[in-house]
Amino acid sequence: MIEAILPAGTVAVDTFTDWPHAFLFPEEEEIIRPAVDKRRREFTSARWCARQAMTRLGRAPAPVLPGPRGEPQWPAGLVGSITHCDGYRAAVLAESGVITTVGIDAEPNEPLMDGVLPAVSLPEERDRLDRLLRDHPDVRWDRLLFSAKESVYKAWFPVAGTWLDFEDADITFDPLAGTFEAQLAVAGPELHGRRLTGFSGRWLAAQGLVVTAIAVVARHRPRGARAVRRRAQVPPDPHDGPADRPVQSKEGRARRARPSFALPAQTPAEYSGLRLTGRSLRRVTFSLRYVRVRCCSTVLIVM
């Protein structure tokens, strides 16, 4: 499903069920050993998706261990992102010479729990969400906003290495085009010859989920870099290998155009990673840990 909102050069693998034959490397097993069954299944299936993507990129399967702040650590030469929520797991990978950074997130298309939205949004964002919900009631825009900010952070952290407060990313959605813009309020690193000040992304609401994705295309792709590979759903049988058929969505098999997710033509503001400090730490930490029961992984949860 998520491949519909990703650009050329990415490989996406997703699943709506936990594959019983998925395995973990010993290093991964050690990390997840104390976890409850639900968390273990999320962790395992998401990493199985990641290894399927590695295979499709011509790489040997490798462990995906969390870094100091929970971020997935990819084999050299690869960039990627993982997401998981109730009933859905996905991983997106790419060669680092083709895609500079990528961030994905999936959430149930349901309202956020009471008290979470004020903790993760700006007043002007909430005003826009009210208008969007009135005009397009089939999408839970508060949850989509949360998802977009997760994708922003996941795309940001690998290139900046710092946290970003939820209030440091101002998200604007286009309900008809299925796109969003993230305007950043803090200084970011120089990327592709100019200061990183924002991200462009895409979103999709289908099959009871809202999903968001950001991918920054490398300015100069290496000669002979491999072109797009369609994502495959996790195979139903361990002996079948990755399936090549796309996931059926509410819109059927209609294919969406794959945009080129380049940096903004102008330099908006800057960036830094979802940094939970001061009042944000006090307001957000409890809320996100509490909402974890119904949300996908958050910045406080090891991916």
Binding site members? 39, 47, 83-84, 105-107, 150, 154, 164
Residues 6+ apart with CB under 8 A from 147: 105, 106, 107, 203, 210, 211, 212, 296
Contact assessment for residue 46 and residue 84, using Cβ atoms and an 8 Å cutoff:
yes
Closest CA to 122 of 186, 162, 172: 172
Q: Where are the alpha helices (DSSP H) in 136-243?
A: 141-160
Inter-residue long-range contacts of 125-129, CB under 8 Å, 24+ positions, other chains counted: 125/170, 125/171, 128/172, 128/173
Annotated binding site for CoA: 39, 47, 83-84, 105, 150, 154, 164
Contact assessment for residue 283 and residue 35, using Cβ atoms and an 8 Å cutoff:
no
Nearest-angstrom CA–CA distance, 84 and 15? 10
State whether the Cα torsion 242-43-68-191 is positive or negative: positive
**φ, ψ of residue 281 in degrees (nearest 5):** -60, -45
Residues 6+ apart with CB under 8 A from 122: 167, 170
For residue 10, CA distances in Å to 104, 227, 284 come to 12, 9, 32
Annotated binding site for Mg(2+): 105-107
Nearest-angstrom CA–CA distance, 83 and 86? 11
